[in-house]
A and B are shown apart, each in its own frame.
Chain A
Amino acid sequence: EVQLVESGGGLVKAGGSLTLSCAASGFTFSSYTLDWVRQTPGKGLEWVSSISSGSDYIYYVDSVKGRFTVSRDNAKNAMYLQMNSLSAEDTAVYYCVRAWGAPPSFFDYWGRGTLVTVSS
Protein backbone atom coordinates (compact mmCIF):
# COMPACT_ATOMS: atom_id res chain seq x y z
CA GLU A 1 0.00 0.00 0.00
CA VAL A 2 1.37 3.40 -1.00
CA GLN A 3 1.84 5.69 1.99
CA LEU A 4 3.08 9.25 2.19
CA VAL A 5 3.48 10.70 5.67
CA GLU A 6 4.38 14.32 6.22
CA SER A 7 5.98 15.68 9.35
CA GLY A 8 7.71 18.79 10.60
CA GLY A 9 4.84 21.22 10.56
CA GLY A 10 4.17 23.56 13.44
CA LEU A 11 4.07 27.14 14.64
CA VAL A 12 6.89 29.43 13.55
CA LYS A 13 7.39 33.19 13.69
CA ALA A 14 7.51 35.29 10.57
CA GLY A 15 11.00 35.33 9.15
CA GLY A 16 11.75 31.94 10.62
CA SER A 17 12.54 28.60 9.03
CA LEU A 18 11.05 25.14 9.03
CA THR A 19 11.85 21.86 7.31
CA LEU A 20 9.10 19.48 6.29
CA SER A 21 9.71 15.80 5.68
CA CYS A 22 7.79 13.23 3.68
CA ALA A 23 8.35 9.56 4.45
CA ALA A 24 7.24 7.21 1.67
CA SER A 25 6.54 3.50 1.58
CA GLY A 26 4.79 0.89 -0.51
CA PHE A 27 6.39 1.73 -3.87
CA THR A 28 9.75 2.12 -5.57
CA PHE A 29 10.48 5.60 -4.30
CA SER A 30 13.41 6.30 -6.61
CA SER A 31 11.22 5.86 -9.71
CA TYR A 32 8.73 8.64 -9.08
CA THR A 33 8.50 12.40 -9.29
CA LEU A 34 7.23 13.94 -6.06
CA ASP A 35 5.56 17.24 -5.36
CA TRP A 36 4.52 19.51 -2.53
CA VAL A 37 1.06 21.08 -2.69
CA ARG A 38 -0.30 23.44 -0.04
CA GLN A 39 -3.74 24.59 0.99
CA THR A 40 -4.56 27.60 3.09
CA PRO A 41 -7.31 26.65 5.55
CA GLY A 42 -10.65 27.07 3.83
CA LYS A 43 -9.06 27.94 0.50
CA GLY A 44 -7.93 26.18 -2.67
CA LEU A 45 -4.95 24.07 -3.65
CA GLU A 46 -1.63 25.64 -4.63
CA TRP A 47 1.23 23.67 -6.13
CA VAL A 48 4.53 24.50 -4.43
CA SER A 49 7.35 22.39 -5.82
CA SER A 50 8.24 19.35 -7.89
CA ILE A 51 11.35 17.15 -7.84
CA SER A 52 12.04 14.44 -10.39
CA SER A 53 13.02 10.91 -9.46
CA GLY A 54 16.74 11.56 -9.72
CA SER A 55 16.54 15.21 -8.64
CA ASP A 56 17.45 16.24 -12.19
CA TYR A 57 14.45 18.52 -12.56
CA ILE A 58 13.24 20.80 -9.77
CA TYR A 59 10.50 23.38 -10.12
CA TYR A 60 8.98 25.95 -7.76
CA VAL A 61 5.98 28.23 -7.76
CA ASP A 62 7.18 31.81 -8.15
CA SER A 63 6.06 32.86 -4.66
CA VAL A 64 8.52 30.50 -2.94
CA LYS A 65 11.47 30.68 -5.34
CA GLY A 66 14.61 31.64 -3.48
CA ARG A 67 13.03 30.84 -0.10
CA PHE A 68 12.11 27.15 -0.33
CA THR A 69 14.37 24.26 -1.29
CA VAL A 70 13.09 20.81 -2.15
CA SER A 71 15.32 17.74 -1.92
CA ARG A 72 15.05 13.99 -1.66
CA ASP A 73 17.06 11.06 -0.38
CA ASN A 74 16.23 7.99 -2.42
CA ALA A 75 18.19 5.76 -0.03
CA LYS A 76 15.91 6.84 2.82
CA ASN A 77 12.67 7.04 0.81
CA ALA A 78 12.26 10.62 1.96
CA MET A 79 11.59 14.05 0.52
CA TYR A 80 12.17 17.36 2.24
CA LEU A 81 11.07 20.96 1.94
CA GLN A 82 13.35 23.52 3.56
CA MET A 83 11.37 26.72 4.07
CA ASN A 84 13.11 29.98 4.92
CA SER A 85 11.97 33.58 5.37
CA LEU A 86 8.47 32.40 6.17
CA SER A 87 5.57 34.82 6.12
CA ALA A 88 1.91 34.64 7.07
CA GLU A 89 1.10 33.87 3.43
CA ASP A 90 2.91 30.55 3.83
CA THR A 91 0.44 29.38 6.48
CA ALA A 92 -1.17 26.25 5.03
CA VAL A 93 -1.50 22.51 5.14
CA TYR A 94 1.37 21.08 3.11
CA TYR A 95 0.72 17.84 1.24
CA CYS A 96 3.33 15.43 -0.05
CA VAL A 97 2.17 14.07 -3.38
CA ARG A 98 3.32 11.34 -5.76
CA ALA A 99 3.12 11.97 -9.48
CA TRP A 100 2.44 9.05 -11.78
CA GLY A 101 5.17 10.31 -14.07
CA ALA A 102 6.91 13.42 -15.26
CA PRO A 103 4.67 16.42 -15.99
CA PRO A 104 1.99 16.59 -17.29
CA SER A 105 1.22 13.34 -15.49
CA PHE A 106 -1.31 13.37 -12.69
CA PHE A 107 -0.95 13.13 -8.91
CA ASP A 108 -2.08 9.66 -7.88
CA TYR A 109 -1.34 9.56 -4.14
CA TRP A 110 -1.50 12.27 -1.49
CA GLY A 111 -0.38 12.31 2.12
CA ARG A 112 -2.65 13.59 4.88
CA GLY A 113 -0.74 16.84 5.15
CA THR A 114 1.08 18.75 7.86
CA LEU A 115 -0.01 22.18 9.07
CA VAL A 116 2.41 25.09 9.01
CA THR A 117 1.33 28.20 10.88
CA VAL A 118 3.37 31.37 10.58
CA SER A 119 2.67 33.98 13.21
CA SER A 120 3.32 37.63 12.51
Chain B
Amino acid sequence: SYVLTQPPSVSVAPGKAARITCGGNNIGSKSVHWYQQKPGQAPVLVIYNDSDRPSGIPVRFSGSNFGNTATLTISRVEAGDEADYYCQVWDASSDHWVFGGGTKVTVL
Protein backbone atom coordinates (compact mmCIF):
# COMPACT_ATOMS: atom_id res chain seq x y z
CA SER B 1 0.00 0.00 0.00
CA TYR B 2 1.07 3.57 -0.64
CA VAL B 3 2.75 5.33 2.27
CA LEU B 4 3.12 9.07 2.95
CA THR B 5 5.84 10.12 5.37
CA GLN B 6 5.75 13.43 7.27
CA PRO B 7 8.05 14.70 10.03
CA PRO B 8 6.22 14.52 13.38
CA SER B 9 7.02 18.10 14.27
CA VAL B 10 8.36 21.36 12.92
CA SER B 11 9.24 24.37 15.05
CA VAL B 12 9.54 27.86 13.63
CA ALA B 13 9.99 31.40 14.93
CA PRO B 14 7.30 33.97 14.20
CA GLY B 15 7.87 35.70 10.89
CA LYS B 16 9.99 32.88 9.51
CA ALA B 17 9.01 30.21 7.00
CA ALA B 18 7.87 26.72 7.94
CA ARG B 19 8.36 23.92 5.45
CA ILE B 20 6.47 20.65 5.93
CA THR B 21 7.45 17.74 3.74
CA CYS B 22 5.40 14.78 2.61
CA GLY B 23 7.38 11.92 1.13
CA GLY B 24 6.03 9.19 -1.10
CA ASN B 25 7.17 7.03 -3.99
CA ASN B 26 6.91 9.19 -7.13
CA ILE B 27 4.47 11.48 -5.33
CA GLY B 28 5.16 14.06 -8.02
CA SER B 29 2.89 12.08 -10.33
CA LYS B 30 -0.05 12.46 -7.94
CA SER B 31 -2.22 15.36 -6.82
CA VAL B 32 -1.43 16.30 -3.23
CA HIS B 33 -3.84 18.03 -0.88
CA TRP B 34 -3.01 19.58 2.49
CA TYR B 35 -5.21 20.07 5.55
CA GLN B 36 -4.75 22.12 8.70
CA GLN B 37 -6.27 20.90 11.95
CA LYS B 38 -6.36 22.96 15.13
CA PRO B 39 -7.10 21.33 18.51
CA GLY B 40 -10.72 20.33 18.92
CA GLN B 41 -11.61 21.28 15.35
CA ALA B 42 -12.22 19.48 12.09
CA PRO B 43 -9.52 19.67 9.40
CA VAL B 44 -9.57 22.54 6.93
CA LEU B 45 -8.26 22.38 3.36
CA VAL B 46 -5.35 24.77 2.87
CA ILE B 47 -3.81 23.57 -0.42
CA TYR B 48 -5.28 21.38 -3.16
CA ASN B 49 -3.86 19.92 -6.36
CA ASP B 50 -0.26 20.46 -5.16
CA SER B 51 -0.29 24.25 -5.11
CA ASP B 52 -3.77 25.78 -5.37
CA ARG B 53 -5.24 27.74 -2.49
CA PRO B 54 -8.93 27.65 -1.60
CA SER B 55 -10.62 31.00 -1.19
CA GLY B 56 -10.03 32.43 2.25
CA ILE B 57 -6.64 30.80 2.74
CA PRO B 58 -3.85 33.38 3.09
CA VAL B 59 -1.29 33.68 0.30
CA ARG B 60 1.33 32.81 2.94
CA PHE B 61 0.35 29.17 2.32
CA SER B 62 1.90 27.59 -0.76
CA GLY B 63 2.67 24.12 -2.02
CA SER B 64 4.94 22.27 -4.42
CA ASN B 65 5.30 18.69 -5.53
CA PHE B 66 8.28 17.16 -7.39
CA GLY B 67 9.83 13.74 -7.52
CA ASN B 68 9.36 11.94 -4.21
CA THR B 69 8.51 14.95 -2.04
CA ALA B 70 5.63 17.36 -1.73
CA THR B 71 6.11 20.45 0.41
CA LEU B 72 3.74 22.80 2.20
CA THR B 73 5.36 26.16 2.94
CA ILE B 74 3.96 28.66 5.38
CA SER B 75 5.68 32.02 4.90
CA ARG B 76 5.86 34.64 7.64
CA VAL B 77 4.48 32.25 10.22
CA GLU B 78 2.02 33.61 12.78
CA ALA B 79 0.96 32.23 16.16
CA GLY B 80 -2.40 31.31 14.64
CA ASP B 81 -0.69 28.87 12.27
CA GLU B 82 0.05 26.49 15.12
CA ALA B 83 -1.74 23.29 14.16
CA ASP B 84 -1.36 19.80 12.80
CA TYR B 85 -0.93 19.55 9.04
CA TYR B 86 -1.76 16.48 6.94
CA CYS B 87 -0.97 15.65 3.33
CA GLN B 88 -3.29 13.43 1.29
CA VAL B 89 -3.19 11.60 -2.03
CA TRP B 90 -5.38 9.16 -3.90
CA ASP B 91 -3.73 5.81 -4.52
CA ALA B 92 -5.33 4.67 -7.77
CA SER B 93 -3.66 1.25 -7.59
CA SER B 94 -5.70 0.36 -4.52
CA ASP B 95 -8.62 2.81 -4.81
CA HIS B 96 -7.71 4.18 -1.40
CA TRP B 97 -7.21 7.65 -0.01
CA VAL B 98 -3.97 7.94 1.96
CA PHE B 99 -3.10 10.51 4.61
CA GLY B 100 0.34 11.29 5.92
CA GLY B 101 0.91 10.83 9.63
CA GLY B 102 0.65 14.56 10.28
CA THR B 103 3.10 17.27 11.31
CA LYS B 104 2.66 19.42 14.38
CA VAL B 105 3.79 22.97 13.71
CA THR B 106 4.90 24.86 16.80
CA VAL B 107 5.49 28.61 16.72
CA LEU B 108 8.30 29.46 19.11
Contact = CB atoms under 8 A, between A and B. Distances in A.
A50 B97 CA distance: 9
Contacts of A37: 99
Nearest to A110: B42
A44 interface: yes
Interface size band for B: 20 to 34
Interface size band for A: 20 to 34
A107 interface: yes
Contacts of B48: 100, 106
Contacts of A50: 97
Main secondary structure of the interface of B (DSSP, over half): strand
A111 B44 CA distance: 10
A47 B96 contact: yes
Interface string B87-105: 0111010011111111000
A102 B89 CA distance: 13
Interface string B24-60: 0000001101010100001111001100001000000
B86 interface: yes
Interface in A89-120: 95, 100, 103-104, 106-108, 110-113
